[in-house]
Structure 1
Amino acid sequence: MELENKVVLVTGGSAGLGAEICYAAAKKGAIVITCARRINLIGQVKERCEALSGKAAYAFQLDVADPTSISALMEKIKNEVGAVDILVNNAGFGIFENFVDFDSADFYRMFEVNVLGMMVLTQQIAIQMLEDKRYGHIINIASMAGKMASPKSTVYSATKFAVLGFSNALRLELKPANIKVTTVNPGPIATEFFDKADPSGNYLKALGNHVIDPEKLAKTIVKSMSHPVREINRPGYMEVAARFYSLFPAVGDFLAGGIFNKK
């Protein structure tokens, strides 16, 4: 599927990876819809997308954890834009903290944003794709934490394991309708995600050059919109480690709790 004039909806599109996906899609001629809670920031992303694509772009406020907000978004898209061709579920957050010290309210919020809200929106978009076109592409931003858990990521990893399981089953359900499902499993990305996940900044400093460039990853994700793949895993060495984690659990625990434990 070429991206020229295709409608691409990106959640969590106010900054970081989400914004970079919007820009990369706009450069390919897509009609971009960027959604997030911060209306002022998505307005700036919208304007840049229009400059890059030479086409209309849209910015709609969305709290993905609120089903009424999702319903309002779907109504706006229906009335102002039209059918969505590609959905990128990018909205999400993490908190890196020892489980025994976790505030239980954060359990619920993280699952509402990372899992439940994503599922509600995906269902609405999948229904639309089935009814209107019987083709499309759903891209779920998961994480290497959903393949290889490590200390201080108990709740975050649990949400991303859920995203992977959901996506893998959904891929099989939608395959007969020619609707593709891709999961993106990145390691640490240099974005404001870590402002909340690790306010100290020590984690990113410890990783050094191993942190992923969001612009480069966004280009890879947008390339997959034209040439769908099952998974995108970055960086490569963490994918290898994740395979060891599954095949050789003792080695996996050593890697996750030792070499890859920088939190």
Structure 2
Amino acid sequence: MEYENKIIIITGGCSGIGGEITKYLLKKGAFVIPTTRNINCSNTFLNTIDDEYKSRCFPFELSLEKQEYIIDFIIKIKSQYKKIYALINCAVCREPVTNFYELNIEEWDKHYRINVFATAYLSGKVAEELIMKDGSIVNFSSFYSINIPDNRVYDKGTIPTSLIYASSKAALNYITQYMAVIYAERNITVNAILAGGVENKDRQTPFFTEQYCLRTPMKRMAKSSDFNKAVDFFISNDNKYCTGQLLSIDGGWNLL
């Protein structure tokens, strides 16, 4: 199998897009370290994995809200594993916020602390101490990092995707390309996937889903599994020269 004996860290790897990538890479032979803010959630996630793959899945608790938590995580990983093959950053802060004119510093701080600083800091530590040479980093950004939200798809009276979230992802795009240049001489590729809206019936209203699909050329929202193959390419041995790319997977939204 392609990733046999390869160790891959996936932040936010026990749910959503990260959870789907974890399952996908386990089936391709990888040893996967999915992180979660609450280790109890990993037990629920492990129950969704086929028994034959569970022995290669090693969930770790990791909160990205404080630098010392990241340092402690790196120390633990270094003590158990000699080298990491790839890092996939799926963890995200996307909490409801107030109207633009009522934004407060706490809301800015939390989103930027996790989506920007923590992702950049963790990526740098992993690149320097665990990958070192010949590896890959994939960051999950958002199509809203390059598009202004279309207010027409949101229910009347609701607040569309926030400026804070979108701008934090735009910052992550820059960090991705900056790191791609810094680590190119070590053959470490760094790319980003700009994810379109992912279907989540628990959080989305019928009106939003209908309007979003009408606005999207492919007439549907993304599934959490729609990003697996792109990640696969970015971290595979087939990719020896593609780095610093911002790949928008959004069903064509960005074209209109």
Normalization by structure 2: what TM-score? Answer: 0.81
1:79 alignment counterpart: 79
What do the CA deviations read for 1:216-242 (whole angstroms, capped 9, x no partner)?
22243224321434343212422434x
Deviation at 1:128, TM superposition (A): 1.7
Matched, 1:225 2:224: no
SS at match of 1:4: coil
SS at match of 2:82: coil
Structure 2 CA distance, aligned partners of 1:128 and 1:171? 17
Correspondence 1:244-259 to 2 at 5 A: none
Larger helix percent: 1
Question: Judging changes above 3 Å, is the alpha-carbon distance between structure 1 residues 63 and 97 closer, same or farther for their aligned structure 2 residues?
Answer: same
Question: Judging changes above 3 Å, is the alpha-carbon distance between structure 1 residues 5 and 66 closer, same or farther for their aligned structure 2 residues?
Answer: same
Structure 2 CA distance, aligned partners of 1:42 and 1:213? 21
Deviates more, 1:179-188 or 1:227-236: 227-236
SS at match of 1:142: strand
What amino acid is aligned across from residue 6 of structure 2 in structure 1?
Answer: K
Identity of aligned residues (%): 22
What do the CA deviations read for 1:193-235 (whole angstroms, capped 9, x no partner)?
x84xx7x675345324431011122243224321434343212
Structure 1 residues not aligned, in runs of 5+:
242-263
Conserved? CA contact 1:185–1:233, under 8 Å: yes
Conserved? CA contact 1:30–1:53, under 8 Å: no
1:165 alignment counterpart: 174
Correspondence 1:39-118 to 2 at 5 A: 39-46=39-46, 51-53=51-53, 55-94=55-94, 95=96, 98-118=99-119
2:191 alignment counterpart: 182
Structure 2 CA distance, aligned partners of 1:81 and 1:47? 25
1:212 alignment counterpart: 222
What do the CA deviations read for 1:69-127 (whole angstroms, capped 9, x no partner)?
11111122112233211001111132365311334311110101111111110111010
What do the CA deviations read for 1:162-212 (whole angstroms, capped 9, x no partner)?
0000101111111111000110001101248x84xx7x6753453244310
What amino acid is aligned across from residue 222 of structure 1 in structure 2?
Answer: D
Conserved? CA contact 1:115–1:163, under 8 Å: yes
1:238 alignment counterpart: 253
Question: Judging changes above 3 Å, is the alpha-carbon distance between structure 1 residues 106 and 100 closer, same or farther for their aligned structure 2 residues?
Answer: same
Conserved? CA contact 1:25–1:32, under 8 Å: yes
Conserved? CA contact 2:36–2:42, under 8 Å: yes
Question: Judging changes above 3 Å, is the alpha-carbon distance between structure 1 residues 89 and 201 closer, same or farther for their aligned structure 2 residues?
Answer: farther
Structure 2 CA distance, aligned partners of 1:171 and 1:240? 26
Structure 2 CA distance, aligned partners of 1:50 and 1:68? 34
CA RMSD between the two structures: 2.5
Runs of 4+ in structure 1 off by over 4 angstroms are: 46-50
Conserved? CA contact 2:17–2:224, under 8 Å: yes
Deviation at 1:50, TM superposition (A): 7.1
